[in-house]
Amino acid sequence: MKEIRSKIDPTELTLSDKLVYINRVTKVMMGGKRLNFSALVVTGDGNGHVGIGTGKANEVPAAISKASAMAKKNLIKVPLAGNTIPHEIGVKFSAAKVLLKPAAPGTGIIAGGSIRAVVEAAGIKDILTKSLGSSNKVNVAKATMLALMQLRDPKEALAKRKPVVKVEEVVSSG
């Protein structure tokens, strides 16, 4: 069963954008080559809210602004356990695999590339990560977002479970 997430209003948060990747795309036409640009932007408030967005345009600034607008639309709330994540999680998106593990206080962010950008924007201070499979920055960022979406707060997970009823059976020997 898929859980419906409530929309997060970006106007209530103080968000900071980070440009992760710009790609120049060329389309060969009869008259020559047409250049376009695609951008990947991560936005977050450093307090558990993070979003990613991609934008395409003829100029770099327009692509970045489109990507930033998309990132603000795709905000999610990440459950945090202090300065780290509540539990270990591994996710696959396309050919990119991402493994996120909680770390002890003072460890820092052990991550690279687009995983680091997403985790920093979310406000996670201590985490161990591993990127496996594809190194495509867009797919790795999307896999990281998918992993952060699937994180569950331990207290909420316990509350959803059915209460355990202990029944003592009386066996009579007769």
The 10s digit of each residue's pLDDT in 120-148 is 999 999 999 999 999 999 999 999 999 99
Tell me which of 1.10.3720.10, 2.170.190.11, 3.30.230.10, 3.50.50.60 is the CATH number of domain 10-153.
3.30.230.10
Provide the sign of the torsion angle of the four alpha carbons 107, 108, 113, 115, taken in this order.
positive
Q: Name the pLDDT band for 174 (thresholds 50, 70, 90).
A: low
Q: Is the pLDDT of residue 172 over 70?
A: no
Report the sign of the C-alpha dihedral through residues 68, 69, 74, 80, in that order: positive
Between residues 42 and 158, the one the model is more confident about: 42
Output the average pLDDT for the chain. Answer: 89
Separation between Cα atoms, residue 61 and residue 50, nearest integer Å: 21
Q: What is the pLDDT of residues 21-58, one digit of tens each?
A: 999 999 999 999 999 999 999 999 989 999 999 999 99
Contact 131, 98 (CB under 8 A): yes
What does the DSSP 8-state code read for residue 59? S
pLDDT at residue 155, as a whole number: 80
**Which pTM does this prediction carry?**
0.85
Number of H helices, E strands in the chain: 4, 8
108: alpha, beta or left? (left if phi > 0; alpha if psi -120 to 50): left
pLDDT reported for residue 114: 92
H helix intervals, 40-153: 60-73, 113-122, 137-150
Contact 54, 73 (CB under 8 A): no
What pLDDT is attached to residue 173?
55
- pLDDT band of residue 1 (cuts 50, 70, 90) is very low
How far apart CA 148 and CA 116 sit, in angstroms, is 13
